[in-house]
Structure 1
Amino acid sequence: MSVLQIETAKIFQPLLAGARYKGAHGGRGSGKSHFFAGLLIEDSLAEAGLRSVCIREVQKSLKDSAKRLLEDKLAVCRLGEADGFRVFREVIETPGDGLITFQGMQDHTADSIKSLEGFKRAWVEEAQTLSTTSLALLRPTIRAPGSELWFSWNPRRKTDPVDVMLRGRELPTGATVVRANWSDNPWLPAELEQERRDCMRTDPDQYGHIWEGDYASVLSGAYYAASLTVARQENRIGRLARDPLMPIKAFWDIGVRDATAIWIAQFVGREIRVLDYYEAVRQPLGAHLEWLRSKDYGNAECYLPHDGSQEDAVTAIRFEDHIRSAGFFVTTVPNQGKGAAMKRVEAGRRLFPAIWFNAEPCSPGLDALGWYHEKHDEARNIGLGPDHDWSSHGADAFGLMCVAYEEPQKRPLVFPMRDMRWVV
């Protein structure tokens, strides 16, 4: 009897043992997908009748799936119909009437997901795109004895559901997770190595995310991408101390059904020093004010967008009046009119060279600025203005700060008049 031998990089060896959850995260060239494809074939050989599903959040066609990779692995391992593997257009049959199928989670509902009951392997590719809803549907569905859920991904944000689950403080019971990068791949092709070196040289701000598996700090093409890159190069993102003699200013984006964001800043000369950032989703106004007090910003001058003059749906009192009654000085910035969002972006880009950030407290806000981008209509190949997603709240509050900023005026020099006598 022949023995199947699949070469495995040392970094993936912990994933060879059985585990309810297996995760591999990291950058390009690590071999994550190749490892899981080989493991799926190995498990299908070891357990006759094994049913498995390869999953993506969105799968428009089989071109977006792992099917081609699995076919290539079967060819390399010289496995075919004589061994029980039969490749069809949409599925791969495995020994003992087993099956590998390919599906998109976005197409599933609470009822349709039941079709996966009895499956013992679920491999989620590009797991950074998996939504909270999809993850909540998938986990209890793959529940057959000895079943396993596998996740491979290049991290994008700390708050992505797969990162919260497999890189958070408390891992699920029976989870094995590894970080794998190009440096862990002993078979890294020379072509990929050259691509890596080129990326390091030509796109250093994206290098860490693409190749080292770091979280994305700047989205390519984002409105503030270039500005953030320059700010890091000039060391304007670091540690900042509060000036005890200068007033504290709080710039808001008010959220009722979504997030409220607040930037804390001081205007010192011609510099804007950003000290802190706050964001909370669907919390009452009192929670935001309590945060200001807890951080010793109780005397902050609060700047609100134009909707600060609107009435709270619960109390029928204007937001600005609520905040004033709590003891804060309030200014409501008038609406900038048509194209207000882009006017805020333009103001932000213009002032960015004069802005300094307190890195650690502002980290979530910097993530938002690095992500804030234009919504694109692919069919017509046109831009539709700023995309209103998770990043827009922090970006709008930042833009409000830049719109409200007034550059200090130079005072004329005044010299004291000396006693002068006129001689005729």
Structure 2
Amino acid sequence: MTTVQIALPPKLLPVFQGRADVRGAYGGRGSGKTRSFAKMAAVRGYMYGMSGESGIILCGRQFMNSLDDSSLEECKRAIEEEPFLAAYYDVGDKYIKSRDGRIQFAFAGLDRNIASIKSKGRLLICWVDEAEPVTDEAWLTLIPTLREEGSDWNAELWITWNPKRKSAPVESRFRFANDPLVKVIELNWRDNPKFPGKLERERLRDAQERPDQYGHVWEGEYATTIAGAYFAQPLTQAKAENRIGRVAADPLMTIRLFADIGGTGAKADAFVFWAVQFIGREIRVLDHYEVQGQPIEAHLNWLRSRGYTPDRAQIWLPHDGDTQDKVHDVSYRSAFEAAGYVVTVVPNQGKGAAMLRVEAARRLFPSMWFNEEPTQAGREALGWYHEKRDEIRGIGLGPAHDWASHSADAFGLMCVAYELPANRPAQPLNYRNRMIS
């Protein structure tokens, strides 16, 4: 029997040892995880074929409009690096299959073709690369298709991704799984023995010139800002100036709750609250709440649980606060007023309202102090909120409407309301009692 050695980052070796249901790696750029998983997919296909098993190695991504967006080229390069794999596989422009006819690679986008995966045939391995944006719905459909099993093997899910959001389904499902059959590790540039010199130069440039993005790009940290984000620079400045920490509420001042309205359907937009206090010209951002598909009673329960009762807090709603909920025939304004709250509906700012909120927030950011832990998810949304662009024409199309826009809209509503004449404080900036150590 011929023995072949495969060069992998040493940290990956335990991931591919023994039996598993899930194998994966997450981390920043230059770690070698994608090439390693592509190579091991080909190796496992070889092992299956040589043992007489037949089936499909499925390579998926959330977004794949064509083979150009797939892992096809990465798999080709990995096969070319190993002579025994190059001899075993027939590699064409648009396909990879074993010469004995037992193993075939297939490529699919989970956003469009997830239902068709059920009919792919006998799946031996499904490797999902760039798995961060994969939805929970896609995982629920994909995982049950991996049901093949032999005496000493079973179909496996492989995943690789660069972390962005702690709330991403891939994080909660796999990164923090407490299961010996889920083998997932962190892999970064320093774990790659073949880390190229060119990437090292790029890494050092990013550390020097783009420190706000460095941790996410190279160290596998969650993204606090992305390129083109409206609030990237203000958030970075707030962190540098120690305005993100433990911030106390003033017990004698009103807590103001600014909302973005969602709905109660399964596909409804998220409902958001930001809890803040205006103290002098200082804005204390105390708390953040976001939930999807829940009735008004759920929001009221959260308010009570946090001590934001009608005697301490008031609520500000966007212009559609008087609109009836489609499932429960009551408006948000009337429901909150019935619970005893003073409610203000902020008028529609008209055309360009989204950018008016962005500009108001940018003006006010230097006066803001954030209560770190309770506002973390909200600040992640602010760091993501960015301009949608037409890359062909090179023009901006205004704020992108995605998972981050609901928290950003409620935040912007707070800033617009602050600048209304009735709410603008006249006192000088109060520097006392900002932070509690």
Task: Normalising by structure 2, report the TM-score.
Answer: 0.89
2:127 equivalent among 118, 123, 144:
123
User: Is residue 104 from structure 1 mapped to residue 121 from structure 2 by the alignment?
Assistant: no
1:278 to 256, 274, 289: 289
**What secondary structure is seen at the aligned counterpart in 1 of 2:132?**
helix
Alpha-carbon offset, residue 295 of structure 1: 0.7
Secondary structure (helix, strand or coil) at the match of 1:27 reads: coil
Candidates 307, 323, 341, aligned match of 1:296: 307
Structure 2 counterpart of 1:56: 61
1:80, CA displacement in angstroms?
A: 6.0
Which of 398, 409, 413 aligns to 2:426? It is 409
Matched residue SS, 1:79: helix
| Structure 1 residue 316: Cα displacement | 4.3
Match of 1:88 among 83, 87, 92: 92
Would you say 1:345 and 2:358 are equivalent positions? yes
* Counterpart check, 1:158 vs 2:177: no
Contact 1:261–1:393 (Cα < 8 Å) also in 2: yes
1:194 aligned partner, one-letter code: R
* Per-residue CA distance 1:225-250 (angstroms, 9 max, x = gap): 11111111111111111111222111
Q: Kindly state the Cα deviation for residue 162 of structure 1 after the two structures are TM-superposed.
A: 1.4
Whether the 8 Å contact between 1:157 and 1:215 is mirrored in structure 2 is yes
Cα deviation digits, residues 73-112 of structure 1 (max 9, x gap)? 222212366x3221122221225322122222233253x2
Q: Secondary structure at the match of 2:366?
A: helix
Quick check: 92-101 or 173-182, which moved more?
A: 92-101
Partner Cα distance (1:94, 1:31) in 2: 25
In 1, the alpha carbon distance for the partners of 2:169 and 2:352 equals: 33
Contact 1:90 1:102 (C-alpha < 8 Å) held by counterparts: no
Report the more deviating stretch, 198-207 or 170-179. 170-179
- TM-aligned CA deviation for residue 282 of structure 1: 1.4
Code of the residue aligned with 1:407 in structure 2: it is: R
Partner of 1:227: 234
Q: CA deviation at 1:333?
A: 1.2
Deviates more, 1:33-42 or 1:63-72: 63-72
* 2:178 is the alignment partner of 1:182: no
CA distance in 2: counterparts of 1:278 and 1:300, whole angstroms: 15
**Which residue of structure 2 lines up, in the alignment, with residue 418 of structure 1?**
none
SS of the residue corresponding to residue 118 of structure 2 reads: helix
Contact 2:55-2:122 at 8 Å conserved across structures: no
Q: 1:37 to 1:103 in 2, by over 3 A?
A: same
Q: Which residue of 2 aligns with 1:207?
A: 214
Preserved contact between residue 259 and residue 281 of structure 1 (Cα < 8 Å): yes
Identity of aligned residues (%): 47
One-letter code aligned to 1:233: A
Which amino acid in 1 is paired with 2:262? Answer: G
2:78 maps to a residue whose letter is K
Secondary structure of the residue aligned to 2:185 is strand
Report the AA paired with residue 382 of structure 1.
Answer: I
Matched, 1:198 2:205: yes
Supply the AA of the counterpart residue of 1:13: L
What is residue 13 of structure 1 aligned with on the other side?
Answer: 13
The 3-state SS of whatever aligns with 1:144 is coil
Q: CA deviation at 1:317?
A: 4.0
Deviations 1:265-302 (A, max 9, x none): 11111100011011111111121122111111102011
Aligned length: 408
SS where residue 151 of structure 1 aligns?
Answer: strand
SS at the partner of 2:396? strand
Give secondary structure in 1 for the equivalent of 2:166. coil
Provide the secondary structure at the position in 1 that maps to 2:277: strand
Structure 2: distance between partners of 1:280 and 1:4: 52
Residue 398 of structure 1: aligned partner: 411
Counterparts in 2 of 1:173 and 1:187: CA distance versus 1, 3 Å: closer
Question: Do the aligned residues in 1 keep the contact of 2:46 with 2:85 (CA within 8 Å)?
Answer: no
Look up the match of 2:434: none
Distance 1:150 1:334, change over 3 A: same
Describe the SS at the equivalent of 2:20: coil
TM-superposed CA distance for 1:123, in Å, is 0.9
Q: Deviation at 1:334? A: 1.2
Partner SS for 1:399: helix
Matches of 1:318 and 1:177, distance apart in 2: 46
Unpaired stretches in structure 1, ≥5 consecutive residues: 412-424
Residues 31-42 of structure 1: matches in 2 within 5 Å? 31-42=32-43
2:324 equivalent in structure 1: 311
Match of 2:388 in 1: 375
Give the AA of the match of 1:124.
V
Flag the 1:206–1:327 CA change in 2: closer, same or farther, 3 A. Answer: same
Asked if the contact 1:250/1:302 (under 8 Å) is kept, the reply is: yes
Q: TM-score scaled by structure 1?
A: 0.91
2:45 is the counterpart of 1:44: yes
Secondary structure of 2:274's partner?
strand
Whether the 8 Å contact between 1:266 and 1:275 is mirrored in structure 2 is yes
Name stretches of at least 5 consecutive residues in structure 2 with no aligned partner.
Answer: 429-437
**Larger gyration radius, structure 1 or structure 2:** 1
Q: Deviations over 1:170-212 (max 9, x none)?
A: 4567211111011111221111111111111111111111111
Pairing 1:243–2:250 present:
yes
Contact 1:238 1:357 in 2 (8 A): yes
Cα displacement (A) at 1:321: 2.4
Aligned residue type for 1:44: G
Secondary structure of residue in 1 paired with 2:355: helix
Partner of 1:415: none
